[in-house]
Chains A and B, each alone.
Chain A
Amino acid sequence: MPNVSMTVNGKQVSQEVEGRTLLSAFLREKLDLTGTHIGCDTSQCGACVVHVDGKSVKSCTLLAVQADGASVTTIEGLAQGDDLHPMQAAFRDCHGLQCGFCTPGMVMSAVDLLQHNPDPSDREIREWLEGNICRCTGYHNIVKAVKQAAQSMKGQQAAAAE
């Protein structure tokens, strides 16, 4: 069996896996990082979104061996200790989650959006999130949360620049 090594949430990990092991399964089953969820088999729902080398990807559509040598961030690695990432905080403040199942992927995807586009319009947020399905919220409060996170991250950057 191939051996894979990668950095997950800042920690070096190395394990033997079958070639067919998906990154999502590797994270959930081998590393017990169960925040990454599986909601479909056709790469549509986005519950499994994580960052690989800083970019959001669907971990159910990537083999663990394809992420060999990469740096992976999951929802568990987003907060700094007890301090929620501004996106997480905004989801809580804006009631951007209900059952919580799509939330990890939704948050990871939204964080990637702000890396590209720090001040997205409503339309841009809605279009970016087309790969993340939420059945609970109707997206209204998710869009609100992403906008709030964008504002608060801009504020943080401005404060840091001073």
Chain B
Amino acid sequence: MSDTGIGASVKRKEDQRFLTGRGNYTDDIDRPNQTYAYILRSPMAHARIKGLNIDAAKAAPGVLAVFTGADTAGLGGIPCGWGVNNKDGSPMNEPKHPVLAEGKVRHVGDPVALVVAETYAQAKDAAEAIEMDLEELPAVVNMEKAIAGSGPQVHDDAPSNLCYDWELGDEAEVDGAFKDAAHVVSIDITNNRLVPNAMEPRAAIGEFDKATGEYTLYTTSQNPHVIRLLMGAFVLQLPEHKLRVVAPDVGGGFGSKIYHYAEEAMVTWAAPRVGRPIKWVAERAESFISDAHGRDHITHADLALDKEGKFLGLKVYTKANMGAYLSTFSTCVPTYLHSTLLAGVYTTPKIYSEVKAIFTNTVPVDAYRGAGRPEATYLLERLVSKAAWELGMDQVEIRRKNFIPKDAFPYQTPVALQYDSGDYDATLDKALELADYAGFPARKAEAAKRGKLRGIGFSTYVEACGIAPSAVVGSLGARAGLFESANVRVHPTGSVSIFTGSHSHGQGHETTFAQLVSDTLGIPLENVDIVHGDTNKVAFGMGTYGSRSLAVGGEAIMKALGKVTDKAKKIAAHIMEASEADIEFKDGKFTVSGTDKEMAFGEIALAAYVPHNFPHDQLEPGLEEQAFYDPMNFTFPGGCHICEVEVDPDTGVVEVVNMTAADDVGRVINPMIVEGQIHGGLAQGIGQALLEQCIYDEDGQLVTGSYMDYCMPRADNLPDFKAATTETLCAHNSLGVKGCGEVGAIGSPPSVINAVIDALRERGVTDISMPATPQKVWQALRAAEMPAAAE
């Protein structure tokens, strides 16, 4: 291993600019003659727009234009990227999602008018002068009420607010498995709604060049090419060659910056109408009511076990909140990213899953770090722990007994996926060792002396990422392929530019991808630049989400690098007058086997561009290759998270005192970065379990609309983490990599809640929902003490 190659904890190339304030985020960009946009949003969750008087706003100082839904009604709706069918095969309900509200507003924050002015303050001042005549309609927030049929309708063309009623598996067959069961363990569970809260608020700048007819959109996106495709083809009907989308440095995404948002279309569409570039930057309060939220499932599940504790069957009934409109990937999250994970790491032979997707008068819900897999994992691991407690089994024993054994791979689950590799005992063993499980009883006893209740909780999980094989997702309703592209451009002096369709917004691609190149070509890291985030520079790309950058984007780079070395060998063979078959390439040198002839990579690069005596019919000049890589399968990272908490019974405060993660993410390219990704995921997982909750009141007002009420994890909420990796290689990609971006957020929440329940069990508490806030814990303790009072 070289000190910059695969497996080295190389310090990040991108850090210098971020640490010196020279990052280039969308809001840092100012275009010549730029104007500013403010978006007037609905203060009501559900209302009919009876009138909009924009005259005073138009006349306000500095105002250049005011647009409403009447102006944008001819545009396409914001599209959904994944069609899901009902049980009977009919397509889902897919109501229009207008760019600016048309006739009705359907959630607090629904955009009503776009005000463009010389300054942001002027635009905002003018928006106050818009008279919105809204006739408030009853709103529906609660999913049960929404599908009851008698209440408010979010969309007239979606009866009972149902988007789809979908299933996976044969319910009757699974019922059969329950007949033989010695035990059935049931659970009702809520996966709490979250607000992603990347620290950089979303922003967009639209620009139009009259001379060329080209549009440019600068935007906070995880996937600029996807935005170009969705916005260009479906909303604005702009041809791709006239539309450039740039996603410069992006301050975190966690899923929330995958989607095509109306604001992007607004500023792009309005730019030629105003005749100047238009910049919009969200205030945080606006982010809360316009960024897609995450999770929000209600589930009932039953697990059948035999008398030994072996799982026989699983039935899962889920209601998933879609919010008021379908965001880009919303529909696949509770179905193909959730139900297909319900086997988990276990050999459960029969599984049935039903998902009802429901419209409510809330912000659209879509993928947030983990997307579907955290919901599946939380459900399963809560259920498994509950089963162990009810059956009097050890938490470790029940899991080991049901693990898919390591010699069973490839393993076909009953819920469509085929896991290629894994070793769940290995990650469990590693976690038990790191967490000092054997020492837990002593720690618990010591905590008791201090008046604290100490508990330990487990989660053993698998997830499906490296999203995704186009053929598979296409057959399941995806309206796009999920390959990735890469271009390797070797410059005459031997330095290399890599153009990748992946997008880095914290993941460190500029370093990890450069390591792949340094390792493959044997050149120094500083000779490699990673170019991403600009549709005019990068040929195509599907972007970064679903822990796919390395397993899909990295593989595309490897494929292109393979083409480059093949071509370079041809050049070397020609120059060194040898047969191509005799050329070996190692450590940056081309040698002719059996001779002492050698040429450095840089010499071949130069020769490629100075092809004085190339046989032009056999060898083209230049050294640049493009590759597209479409994965064969998902990748399946897995692992074990063990959480240890102390509860203060006087106040209900839960402190995470130990958080251990042993994860198998396949081959690790940069251990430092992988560990950082796991830390970040753990923090979001602990955040979901203990702190974060998005609350709407009955009228559809967002109660947790700022950091004053939405509890973000802070440094003093979290412990130091113990993170380690074990390794089984992915069986179907060249690097053997699986993906590490989401495992922390997927695996950890049930370990935290299981630990809280374990701590409270001695006081009679058997259930607690996320987030386990101090108030909730105190109430649970009080209810357990005084059963009568709880009724």
Contact = CB atoms under 8 A, between A and B. Distances in A.
A148 to B, nearest CB: 13
B254 A74 contact: no
B201 interface: yes
Nearest to B678: A138
B200 A101 contact: yes
Interface residues of B, number: 55
A133 B199 contact: yes
A8 interface: no
Q: In the complex, which of the residues A18, A44, A122, A132 has the most CB atoms of chain B within 10 Å of its own CB atom?
A: A44
Contacts of B23: 35, 100-101
Contact of A103 (B19, B27, B721): B19
A100 B706 CA distance: 22
B715 A130 contact: yes
Contacts of B17: 100
Contacts of A75: 19-21
Interface string B636-650: 000000000000000
B679 A42 contact: no
B716 A138 contact: no
B201 A140 contact: no
B670 to A, nearest CB: 9
B718 interface: yes
Interface in B1-53: 11-12, 14-23, 25, 27-28
B279 to A, nearest CB: 11
Interface string B662-701: 0000000000110110011111100000000000000000
A104 B22 CA distance: 10
A37 B28 CA distance: 9
Contacts of A95: 11-12, 672-673, 675-676
A79 B20 CA distance: 7
Contacts of A76: 20-22
B21 A36 contact: yes
A35 to B, nearest CB: 2
Contact of B712 (A38, A91, A135): A135
A140 B721 contact: yes
A84 interface: yes
A20 interface: yes
B714 A41 contact: no
A55 B313 CA distance: 61
A41 B124 CA distance: 15
Nearest to B681: A138
Contacts of A47: 199
A139 B507 CA distance: 15
B153 to A, nearest CB: 34
B707 A45 contact: yes
B201 A84 contact: no
B283 interface: yes
B708 interface: yes
Nearest to B22: A35
A138 B721 contact: yes
Contacts of A97: 15, 18-19
A118 interface: no
Contact of A143 (B198, B285, B707, B715): B715
Interface in A112-134: 122-123, 125-127, 129-130, 132-134
Contacts of A133: 199, 707, 712, 714
Q: In the complex, which of the residues A92, A134, A139 has the most CB atoms of chain B within 10 Å of its own CB atom?
A: A139
A93 interface: yes
B20 to A, nearest CB: 6
A14 interface: no
A35 B16 CA distance: 12
A41 B285 contact: yes
A56 interface: no
Contacts of A37: 25, 27, 199-200, 251
Contacts of A127: 715-716
B625 interface: no
A138 B28 contact: no
A42 B706 contact: yes
A42 B284 contact: yes
A98 B507 contact: yes
A107 interface: yes
Interface residues of A, number: 55
B225 interface: no
A13 interface: no
A91 B715 CA distance: 15
A42 B287 CA distance: 13
Interface in A23-46: 28, 33-42, 44-45
B21 A40 contact: no
Contacts of A74: 21
A129 B20 contact: no
B550 to A, nearest CB: 15
A21 B513 CA distance: 42
B469 to A, nearest CB: 28
A92 B706 contact: no
Which label, helix, strand, loop or mixed, suits the secondary structure of the A interface?
A: loop
A39 B249 CA distance: 15
Given A35-B23, A41-B706, A133-B714, A99 B720 contact: no
Contacts of B506: 98-100, 136
A162 B141 CA distance: 68
A137 interface: yes
Interface in B497-532: 505-508
Given A136-B506, A138-B683, A107 B19 contact: yes
Contact of A135 (B27, B197, B283): B197
B622 interface: no
A142 B680 CA distance: 11
A152 interface: no
A135 B715 contact: no
Interface in B452-492: none
B252 interface: yes
Contacts of A93: 11
B121 interface: yes
Contact of A126 (B14, B20, B27, B715): B715
A76 B19 CA distance: 9
A127 B718 CA distance: 11
Given A35-B20, A92-B19, A98-B507, A130 B716 contact: yes
B354 to A, nearest CB: 34
Contacts of A104: 21
A59 interface: no
B19 A135 contact: no
B200 A39 contact: yes
Nearest to B369: A135
B402 to A, nearest CB: 30
B254 A135 contact: yes
A110 B200 CA distance: 20
A138 B16 contact: no
Contacts of B604: none
B250 interface: yes
Interface in A72-113: 74-76, 78-79, 84, 88, 91-93, 95, 97-104, 107
Nearest to B18: A100
25 contacts: A35-B21, A42-B707, A45-B707, A75-B19, A76-B21, A76-B22, A84-B19, A91-B19, A92-B12, A92-B19, A95-B676, A97-B15, A102-B251, A103-B19, A130-B714, A133-B199, A135-B252, A136-B676, A137-B680, A138-B713, A138-B721, A138-B744, A140-B679, A140-B721, A143-B720
Interface of B: 11-12, 14-23, 25, 27-28, 121, 197-201, 249-252, 254, 283-285, 505-508, 672-673, 675-676, 679-684, 706-708, 712-716, 718, 720-721, 744
Given A84-B16, A92-B16, A98-B508, 9 more contacts: A33-B21, A44-B708, A92-B19, A100-B19, A125-B715, A132-B715, A133-B199, A136-B506, A138-B680
Interface of A: 18, 20, 28, 33-42, 44-45, 47, 74-76, 78-79, 84, 88, 91-93, 95, 97-104, 107, 122-123, 125-127, 129-130, 132-143
- Name the 4 nearest CB pairs between A and B, nearest first: A35-B21, A101-B251, A100-B18, A138-B683
